Amino acid sequence: MKKHILVIAGDGIGQEVTAVGKQVLERIAGKFGHEFTYDEALIGHAAIEATGNPLPEATITKSKASDAILFGAVGHPKYDNDPSAKLRPEQGLLGIRKALGLYANLRPIKLFDELLGASSIKPEFLQGADILFFRELTGDVYFGEKGRNEDRSTAYDTMIYSRYEVERIAVKAFEAAMTRRKKLCSVDKANVLESSRLWREVVQKVAKRYPEVDVEHQFIDAAAMLLIKDPRRFDVVLTGNLFGDILTDEASQIAGSMGMLASASVGDTIGLYEPIHGSAHDIAGKGVANPLASVLSVALMLDISFGLKSEAETVLTAVDTVLKAGYRTRDIADGNTSSEKILGTEAMGARLIA
């Protein structure tokens, strides 16, 4: 199979972890006789520095010419304490999602058995947890009108959803539930927010087309609590952009670390695959970032965009094998990990490839 992959490494540790993701793709191509070609493009802070634009036109053009995108991360601490900054790295990521119509963000919460001890949640509440989040990605407060009043003393962000936007992601989530344990939890704040009442109304309507799926609705506050109290009660979780962003960071503790969570952003055309973590400038350039979220994103790409199930399975087996052999990056190490088994980014990549 021939495929053309655009690598958008972005900022901070995005560069380091994406390099490992690409090496894994190369190993898979060699092992299974595929031909993957690559191009690179800028985004985020790196793009602002080079072009004055967090999402250069060339990045969109190259994205549309590719079969899939391997993405790293965006962000830079210099913007965090500068509320007046007009250009921000995150505009690049939100912009590319919108430009490519990537409205559904799949975030699997997969707990590798070997990492039971790495989580801050007690193992007896965790074993067997397996959740697939569907985070809506091109609507909500992230894309609604925002601004300040004239004297800049009041600010607003508009939380907005259309029936169409909710329905198309709900259908994707119900379809996925049908292939899993046939349970779906829709998360909103319908007791307070009008956009959430529309969300719930549309999800209830779509649910009628899937009578086999056991549906529940939870408010975001209750869902946040239940996720930690009893993660195994969840199968597919369907939620909006903001709630999904927050809940999946919380859910990363079920998998042991933010460094373990991969994602697939899909719509009606090409897919974009990225770790859920950001640019983590505190550890950037130190060679200690966990590359497994990028590697697991590669597995999602092979499966979802290219339909290469055995190849995806091979990547998952490699991750499992390395973890079983006791190797860890420092974010997933625990008291039982001996110092020689704590690997840096490149060494972890080399182990996986071996």
Give the active site residues: 142, 189, 221, 245, 249
Question: How remote is the C-alpha of 122 from its chain's centroid?
Answer: 24
What's the rounded Cα separation, in Å, for the pair 187 and 170?
Answer: 11
Say whether 342 sits in a helix, a strand or coil: strand
**Nearest distance from C-beta of residue 10 to ligand GGG, angstroms:** 6
Contacts of 121 (CB under 8 A, 6+ apart): 228, 231, 253, 254
SS (H, E, C) 85-99: CCCCHHHHHHHHHHH
Question: Would you say 221 is a known binding-site residue?
Answer: yes
What's the rounded Cα separation, in Å, for the pair 271 and 305?
Answer: 6
> Which residue's C-beta sits nearest to ligand GGG?
73
Q: Give the residue with the Cβ less far from ligand GGG, 21 or 231.
A: 21
**2-10 β-sheet, strand order:** 35-40, 2-10, 68-73, 271-275, 262-266, 104-110, 130-136, 236-239, 183-188, 214-219
Question: Would you say 97 is a known binding-site residue?
Answer: yes
Question: Would you say 331 is a known binding-site residue?
Answer: no
**Nearest distance from C-beta of residue 203 to ligand GGG, angstroms:** 21
Question: Would you say 107 is a known binding-site residue?
Answer: yes
Question: How remote is the C-alpha of 16 from its chain's centroid?
Answer: 17
**Nearest distance from C-beta of residue 66 to ligand GGG, angstroms:** 18
* Phi, psi (degrees; rounded to nearest 5) at 153: -90, -10
Place of tokens 């966990």: 290
Q: Give the residue with the Cβ less far from ligand GGG, 26 or 90.
A: 90
Between the alpha carbon of residue 270 and those of residues 49, 69, 106, 244, the distances in Å are: 27, 8, 14, 21
Q: How many residues does the structure list for the chain?
A: 354
Place of tokens 């009043």: 149
**Nearest distance from C-beta of residue 300 to ligand GGG, angstroms:** 13
Question: Would you say 249 is a known binding-site residue?
Answer: yes
Q: Give the residue with the Cβ less far from ligand GGG, 261 or 318.
A: 261
Q: Give the residue with the Cβ less far from ligand GGG, 157 or 245.
A: 245
Task: Tell me which residues touch ligand GGG (CB under 6 A).
Answer: 73-75, 90, 93, 245, 274-278
Question: Is residue 325 within 8 Å of residue 338, measured between CB atoms?
Answer: no
Q: Give the residue with the Cβ less far from ligand GGG, 20 or 73.
A: 73
What's the rounded Cα separation, in Å, for the pair 119 and 81?
Answer: 31
Burial class (CB in 10 A: 0-12, 13-18, 19+), 26: middle
Question: Would you say 232 is a known binding-site residue?
Answer: no
Q: Give the residue with the Cβ less far from ligand GGG, 215 or 299.
A: 299
Task: Specify binding-site residues for Mg(2+).
Answer: 221, 245, 249
Question: Which residue numbers belong to the known binding site?
Answer: 97, 107, 135, 221, 245, 249
